[in-house]
Amino acid sequence: MRPGEARGRTERDDAEEPVTDTQSSSPSLENLLHETRTFPPSGEFAAQANAQPSLYEDAAADRLEFWARQARDLVTWRTPFTETLDWSGAPVARWFADGTLNAAYNAVDRHVEAGLGDRVAIHFEGEPGDTRTVTYADMQREVSRAANALAALGVESGDRVVIYMPMLVESAVAMLACARIGAAHSVVFGGFSADALRSRIADAEAKVVITADGGYRRGAPSPLKPAVDEALRGEGAESVEHVLVVRRTEQDVDWTEGRDVWWHDVVDTADDVHEPTWVEAEHPLFILYTSGTTGKPKGILHTTGGYLTQAAYTHKNVFDLKPESDVYWCSADIGWVTGHTYIVYGPMLNGATQVMYEGTPDTPHKGRWWELVEKYKVSLFYTAPTAIRACMKWGEEIPAGFDLSSLRLLGSVGEPINPEAWMWYRRVIGGDTTPIVDTWWQTETGAIMISPLPGVTATKPGSAQVPLPGISADVVDDEAKPVPDGGGGYLVLSEPWPSMLRGIWGDLQRFKDTYWSRFPGLYFAGDGAKKDEDGDIWLLGRVDDVMNVSGHRLSTTEIESALVSNDLVAEAAVVGASDEMSGQAVVAFVILRGEHADEASTDEGSARIEKTLRDHVAKEIGPIAKPRRILVVPELPKTRSGKIMRRLLRDVAENREVGDATTLADSSVMNLIQAGLGKPS
C-alpha cells in the first residue's frame, strides 16, 4: 500500500496488495449516523480564528454582496468589476465578468510589491533529501522567466499547455507561467500512462507539453519523458509544437531536435521581468481531466476571477492561515485538483509559506512525513484519509518519534473519513487538541464547499458537516425535495458559486447532461449523503459508476473498456468493492474469449491471465486503475434491458450473500458465477 498525498499515491505504484478476503470492517451507516462525539473549538483557538460566526450571518444577509466583498478583499484586480454574478446563461455562470486581473500576479507579484519578497513561498524537499528554498521574490523572477520562455516558444493567450511533471518547484512555476501569459494549463498526473496522456493532449489540443526527465519515487529515479515521447508518437497529438523538459534525475532521454527543449536552456536564460497578460475574469485558467461515468475523461474548465476568489477565501478561513507565522503543507500532487487549489493557487494567493515534498511518505522510512513536520515546524497539514489509514497501520510509535507540537490544524480531503481514522488523526498527529477540517469538494467545484470552520464549528468525527458561508448545499430525495434531518438522498448544490466549473472542455451538452439534468436547476454532485439529527451532512460515497480508490476518481466504464480492448476478453464488468485501506478497490469480472476460456481452468493459467490483464489496464490508464482482483466468470448478470447489475457483483466481491436478483434476465447466472468461483450459491 502506498499512501500519499491528499489524492493518495497508489497509482504510481505497482506494489501488489493482499486480497481482502474478509468483509469490510468499516462501520455501517447506522453507526456513522449515531456518532455523538463532538469537539467544540477551544476558547483560545476561537479567539484568534480568521473565521468568526458573523461570516455565516454576512453571507446569509446578502450572498452576492458577500462574494463581491471576498473578491475585492482577497484578489487584486487590474480593472475592478461592477457586476458580481451573471446567471442568465445558466448553467454556465459568469462571475465578476467585467473585471480584469492576472492569476500569477495575484499569487506572486503583489506580495513582492507589498514588501514580502523575502518571505519563503516554498520549502522544497526532494525525495533523496535535496532541498531548495524559494522566496516570493525568487518565484516572481522564475515565473517571469518561464513566461518569457513559453512566449518565445509561441504560446499565446488562450492556448493550452499540458504539464506532466513530478512534484517540483518547476511544476508550480510552470502552472503560474501559463497563467501569466493567459494560456490555460492542463496538468496530467505523472502516474498516468502514455495513452491517457495522449488522449488529454488531443482533447485539449495542447501546443506545448512541459515535463521532466523523471522524478524520484521510492528511492529510485522514475522516468517521465519516455511517456511523453510515446504519447506524441500516436495519433491525435499533432497540435504539440514543443516539449519543454526540466532536468531532475539526469536519466538519459531520447531527444527530438526542433521539438524538445531543455528548461535550463530556455527558461534559465530568459529575461526575469515579464508584464503579466491582464485577462477578463472569465478567461480560462485551467482544464483538469477527471473521470466521469463514461469512458471518456471530462476536461473540467475553470476560469480566473471566481476560482481565485474562492480558492483564497477557503484557504484563509478553512485552514485559518496566518501567513506571517504558519507553515502550511498539503501533501497532494499537483496532478489533482487539490494540488491546484491548495498548493498553487490558494496558499500563494494568501502569501503562505509552504512545504512541497517530492516523494512518498515511507521513503526512506515510514516517519518521513513526520520528520518533515518537525523539520519545517509545519502548523497546518492537509492530507487524505487513505494516507491516514496507512499511517494507522504502520503504528503510532512512528509519529510518536517526532516533535509534532507545531501542528495546530489538520485537514482531510478526497473521500469520507471514517470516525476511527478521524479520531486517530486528531489524537496521534494532532496531540488531542487540533481542530480537524473534513473538507468536501470536487474537481468541478474548484474549491472547498462543505467543511467545519475552525474556531466556529464544533467538529464531529466523520462528517464534513456544513456548507461554507456563501455556499448552498442540500440533500434531496428522488423528487428533488430536501430531506428532513435524519434523512438520506443525493447531495446537490442549489446556488451558483464563484469557483464552479464553467463547463466540460468542448462539450457543453455533456456538462448539462452530467450535472444539471438529474434535478433541474440543481447541481448534482454524484455523491450520496445524509443529514443527521443536527442537520450536519455526512457524505456516503458516489452514487454513479465512479469509484473512489485511495481518494482517486476512477470510472468503471473506463476500466471496462480497457479490459475489453485486450484480446483475451470478451466482456468485462468492474465494481468498486469496499476496502479497509483504500476506501474502494477495483474488482473486475471478465468473460474470456472462447479460445482462451480453457486457459483459466488451471491455477497457473488464471494467474497468467490475471497478470496480463492487470498490466494491460496499467498500460491503458495507469497503475492506479489496476484491478485488485480479476475474476473469470462464464456470464455477467444482466437485466432484461441488458444493463449489468453491478450491485450483485459487488455482493460477490465483498463476500456477501447475493441480494435480490429477481430482475435478472436469466436468474441462474448468479449461481453459475458463484459456482465457478468455488462459492456456495
Q: Which residues here bind ligand 6R9, judged by CB under 6 A?
A: 290, 336-338, 413-416, 438-443, 464, 525-527, 539, 542, 548, 553
**How do strand 409-413 and strand 380-383 relate by DSSP bridges?**
parallel
Quick one: 382 or 589, whose CB is closer to ligand 6R9?
382
How many CA atoms does the CB half-sphere of 147 hold within 13 Å? 26
Separation of alpha carbons 671 and 681, rounded Å? 5
Separation of alpha carbons 319 and 49, rounded Å? 10
**Shortest approach of ligand 6R9 to residue 385 CB, angstroms?**
8
Quick one: 332 or 652, whose CB is closer to ligand 6R9?
332
Kindly write down the DSSP assignment for every residue of 405-469, as one continuous string: TT--EEEEESSPPPHHHHHHIIIIISTTT--EEEEB--TTT-S--B-PPTTTSPB-TT--BSBPT
Give the distance from CA 194 to its chain's centroid.
20
Cα-atom radius of gyration of the chain, to the nearest Å?
24
**Shortest approach of ligand 6R9 to residue 416 CB, angstroms?**
4
* Residue 295 annotated as binding site: no
* Residue 63 annotated as binding site: no
Quick one: 577 or 609, whose CB is closer to ligand 6R9?
577
Quick one: 148 or 582, whose CB is closer to ligand 6R9?
582
**Shortest approach of ligand 6R9 to residue 451 CB, angstroms?**
8
* Residue 219 annotated as binding site: yes
| DSSP 8-state assignment for residue 594 | G
Quick one: 522 or 631, whose CB is closer to ligand 6R9?
522
Please identify which residue in the block is written with the cell numbers 430482475.
Answer: 663
* Residue 415 annotated as binding site: yes
Quick one: 409 or 632, whose CB is closer to ligand 6R9?
409
Separation of alpha carbons 582 and 385, rounded Å? 9
| DSSP 8-state assignment for residue 12 | G
Query: C-alpha grid cell for residue 259?
Result: 521539438
**Shortest approach of ligand 6R9 to residue 291 CB, angstroms?**
8
**Shortest approach of ligand 6R9 to residue 598 CB, angstroms?**
41
Quick one: 96 or 336, whose CB is closer to ligand 6R9?
336
* Residue 416 annotated as binding site: yes
**Shortest approach of ligand 6R9 to residue 471 CB, angstroms?**
14
Query: C-alpha grid cell for residue 680?
Result: 456456495
Quick one: 120 or 423, whose CB is closer to ligand 6R9?
423
**Shortest approach of ligand 6R9 to residue 336 CB, angstroms?**
6
Contact residues for 681 (Cβ-Cβ < 8 A; gap 6+): 658, 670, 671, 674, 675
Count of C-beta atoms within a 10 Å radius of residue 206: 26
How many angstroms separate the first and last alpha carbons of the chain?
32
**Shortest approach of ligand 6R9 to residue 382 CB, angstroms?**
11
Query: 44 burial class (0-12, 13-18, 19+ CB within 10 angstroms)?
Result: exposed
* Residue 538 annotated as binding site: no
* Residue 379 annotated as binding site: no
* Residue 442 annotated as binding site: yes
Number of H helices, E strands in the chain: 23, 30
Helices (H), 127-280: 136-152, 169-181, 194-204, 225-233, 263-266
Quick one: 166 or 576, whose CB is closer to ligand 6R9?
576
* Residue 542 annotated as binding site: yes
* Residue 18 annotated as binding site: no
* Residue 564 annotated as binding site: yes
**Shortest approach of ligand 6R9 to residue 290 CB, angstroms?**
5
Query: Can you say which residues are annotated as belonging to the binding site for ATP?
Result: 414-416, 438-443, 527, 542, 553
Report the binding-site residues for CoA.
217-220, 338, 550
Q: Please report, in range form, the residues annotated as the binding site.
A: 217-220, 338, 414-416, 438-443, 527, 542, 550, 553, 564, 569
